[in-house]
Structure 1
Amino acid sequence: MSEPERQIRALYTASTVTVYQAYAPEIGLPAAQHGHFPAAWKRDRMTWIKPSFLWMMYRCGWGLKEGQETVLAVEIQRDGFEWALRHACLSHHVPELYADQADWKRQLKRSPARVQWDPERDLRLQPLPYRSLQLGLSGEAVRRYADEWTVAIRDMTPLAHEIHALVRDGDLDSAARLLPEEHAYPVEDELLAHLRI
């Protein structure tokens, strides 16, 4: 059965969902060590979280890109994640969802979260025919993410490097076995109705 074109896939439990980010070591290492973001982490700028491990690997080059050398798994409360989705706006104008360009811009300005659907990636980081969620948080959403929703932060850099080494060696089966187990995230259709195109 083929994957829906737009569907949230994630590692989750009954109460949490795991999202990924990558930072320079001076941010990422203390975050993983202490389980919360350090004072140097900026709460006044947009931060993008990604439920897809492989999309994060595409974005940070397996933790080898400058400024993205520390890959973090951030376990957050599902209630918070869903609050962000409920209060999100698409990051680009879609005529079917907004009265006009000005209406979309007004909603975008008011929204503490925004959504992009980008092509999911395979182990070689090539695009797949279905899309993965990116969730941008700003303002109130950033503060809630850092101070209320975050349950745990783990350093995934060693795992990223191990999987990358297996991919480089052509051992895709072993690499795939190490990936976090992501499944379709159970959300009501109404929660995503304003975010699907």
Structure 2
Amino acid sequence: MAQPKYQIRALHTNSTITVYQAYAPDIGLPAAQEKRFPAVWQRDRMTWIKPSFLWMMYRSGWGTKEGQETVLAVEISREGFEWALEHACLSHYEHGLHADRATWKRQLKRAPARVQWDPERDLHLQPLAHRSLQLGLAGEAAHFYADKWTVSITDITSLTHKIHAHVQDGDLDAARQLLPRERPYPANEGVLAHLHQ
């Protein structure tokens, strides 16, 4: 059955959702060790979180790009994630969704979070027809993420490399077995209504 074009798919429990980020080891390793972001993590700049493991692999080149060598699975509260969605603005103007371009610009400027829908990726990191959520957090949202919403942080770099090795060997079944079990996230449609047409 075809995937809906706009749908959040994620590893989640009744109270948490897992998102992915990749950092240089000087931030990623202490974050995983302490299970929280270190003081050097810049809380005053925008940070992008991704519920899609394979989109993070696309973005980080399987954890090989400079400054993205440590891949983290960050478990955050669903309450915090949904607060961010409710307070988010779409990162681009969408005719028919926004009253006009000026209104969208004002909303974007005020919003502590923003959303992009980028093509989901397959195991070869090729784009698929349906979209994957990217959630940008700034201002109070970035502070909440680092200091209130984060439940745990796990270094999954070795898992990333293991899956990538299977893909390179052409053993896609073995690679698929190791992927996080992402399933549709039960976000209330009202939470997402302002974020896509």
Check whether TM > 0.5. Answer: yes
- 2:164 matched to which residue of 1? 164
Q: Determine helix, strand or coil for the equivalent of 2:153.
A: strand
Q: Cα distance, 1:192 vs. partner?
A: 0.3
CA distance in 2, matches of 1:141, 1:21: 16
- 1:105 matched to which residue of 2? 105
**Residue 25 of structure 1 pairs with residue 25 of structure 2:** yes
Flag as ranges the 4+ runs of structure 1 deviating above 3 A.
none
- 2:190 matched to which residue of 1? 190
CA distance in 2, matches of 1:32, 1:98: 39
CA distance in 2, matches of 1:187, 1:21: 21
Structure 2: gaps spanning 5 or more residues = none
**Residue 95 of structure 1 pairs with residue 95 of structure 2:** yes
Q: Cα distance, 1:97 vs. partner?
A: 1.3
TM-score normalised by length of structure 1: 0.99
Q: Which amino acid aligns with 1:76?
A: I
Q: Which amino acid aligns with 1:21?
A: Q
- 2:49 matched to which residue of 1? 49
- 1:148 matched to which residue of 2? 148
CA distance in 2, matches of 1:97, 1:3: 22
- 1:174 matched to which residue of 2? 174
- 2:67 matched to which residue of 1? 67
Q: Which amino acid aligns with 2:87?
A: H
Q: Which amino acid aligns with 1:28?
A: G
CA distance in 2, matches of 1:119, 1:4: 12
Q: Which amino acid aligns with 1:160?
A: T
* Identical positions, percent: 72
- 2:82 matched to which residue of 1? 82
Q: Cα distance, 1:188 vs. partner?
A: 1.1
Structure 1: gaps spanning 5 or more residues = none
TM-score normalised by length of structure 2: 0.99
Instruction: Spell out, residue by residue over 1:161-188, the C-alpha distance to the aligned partner (whole angstroms, 9 max, x if none).
Output: 0000000000000000000000000011
Instruction: Spell out, residue by residue over 1:29-75, the C-alpha distance to the aligned partner (whole angstroms, 9 max, x if none).
Output: 00000001111100000000000000000000000000000000000
Q: Cα distance, 1:148 vs. partner?
A: 0.4
Q: Which amino acid aligns with 2:14?
A: A
The alignment of Structure 1 onto Structure 2 pairs a total of residues equal to: 197
Q: Which amino acid aligns with 2:90?
A: L
Q: Which amino acid aligns with 1:55?
A: W
